[in-house]
Amino acid sequence: MKRILLCLLLGLAPLCAADQKIVLIAGKPSHPPGMHEFRAGCLLLQQSLAGVKGVRVEVHDNGWPASDGVLEDAAAIVIYCDGGARHPALEGGRKALLDRLAGRGVGLGFMHYGVEVPATNGGPEFLRWIGGHYESNYSCNPMWSPDYRSFPDHPVARGVKPFSNRDEWYFNMRWPENQGGITPILTARPSDDVRKGPYVHPKGPYPHIVAASGRVETMMWVRERPDGGRGFGFTGGHTHANWGDDNQRKVVLNAIVWIAKAEVPAGGIESKVTTQQLAANLDPKPAPKKK
């Protein structure tokens, strides 16, 4: 308190401002080893943000913090989890809690399966919070290698260079009729073979996906909300090893910092991840049974 008063008296409030608190929520263990490693992925992102000025990062695993109170002073909340009807954000009163925080300007981000919610339960909120979401039997989830070659003039894209990773990159998100405030960040053009599937589930093909041949699709996007808050959706992140890609990691780190309204450096957030770090903190999962 004395430090804050001194800063105010000296006119140094901007220099003495508290770091923006970012909460990363990792979903419960799921999928075989090396896939949906939500806890390990969140811890890697936390480590990569450790030296970034203006932010401090907490990780809460197993689907949700032990107390909702830890979210009350957060500048941003990012959820990396299994989604659908059992999305942790839809349980109990959490949807209302996040809606209240979003209305206060708190940034919200959702990653991989975490961008999927039912159209009638969570769908309207996701359209408000982050601008779009995955909808079962409307969106699709093939394993493919988008070629990300160009990026918008946006803080989240700072320093990001072309890259391509084979992963379960969702596309054909459900967007609002008025897409105000939405900026696509990662875009690519799926081949006709990718459009025809198979998709991970249900395997497809879906006629409306095939019919959109040649269209550029969005696999990551950001939104600036009328309430002053910010949001992002990132559809990659199925395969844990891909966090070792400097550019995939950078664009997500940039997004996390941006939705917290902290400064993204001109060259983006630099970080390095070792093979030892990638192998650490993996969920204990049984190896796939041999057929």
Question: Rounded to 5 degrees, what are φ and ψ at 30?
Answer: -160, 165
Count of other CB atoms within 10 angstroms of residue 221:
25
Count of other CB atoms within 10 angstroms of residue 288:
8
Could you tell me if residue 161 is inside a domain? Answer: yes
State how many domains the chain has: 1
The CA distance from 103 to 209, in Å, is 34
Could you tell me if residue 223 is inside a domain? Answer: yes
Look at residue 1 in the predicted model and tell me its pLDDT. 40
The domain in which residue 55 lies consists of 11-276
Could you tell me if residue 209 is inside a domain? Answer: yes
pLDDT at 13 over 80: no
The CA distance from 87 to 117, in Å, is 7
Could you tell me if residue 87 is inside a domain? Answer: yes
pLDDT at 113 over 60: yes
pTM value?
0.93
**Per-residue confidence band for 290, with pLDDT thresholds at 50, 70 and 90:** low
Could you tell me if residue 171 is inside a domain? Answer: yes
Average of per-residue pLDDT values in the chain: 93
Per-residue pLDDT tens for 29-83? 999 999 999 999 999 999 999 989 999 999 999 999 999 999 999 999 999 999 9
Per-residue pLDDT tens for 114-168? 999 999 999 999 999 999 999 999 999 999 999 999 999 999 999 999 999 999 9
Strand pairing category for 230-234 and 107-111? parallel
**Per-residue confidence band for 178, with pLDDT thresholds at 50, 70 and 90:** confident
**Per-residue confidence band for 285, with pLDDT thresholds at 50, 70 and 90:** confident
Query: E strands of the chain, at which residues?
Result: 20-26, 55-60, 76-80, 107-111, 143-144, 167-168, 182-188, 217-224, 230-234
Query: E strands of 45-102, at which residues?
Result: 55-60, 76-80
Distance of CA 203 to the CA centre of its chain: 24
With tokens 């500048």, the residue in question is: 75
Tokens read off for 219: 């696999």
Beta bridge partners of 57: 22
Average pLDDT estimate for 247-261 = 98
Could you tell me if residue 288 is inside a domain? Answer: no
Could you tell me if residue 282 is inside a domain? Answer: no
CATH number at residue 130: 3.40.50.880
Look at residue 291 in the predicted model and tell me its pLDDT. 60
Tokens read off for 77: 């909340």
Distance of CA 36 to the CA centre of its chain: 13
With tokens 């990691």, the residue in question is: 249
The CA distance from 5 to 42, in Å, is 35
With tokens 């979003």, the residue in question is: 102
The CA distance from 256 to 279, in Å, is 23
Could you tell me if residue 244 is inside a domain? Answer: yes
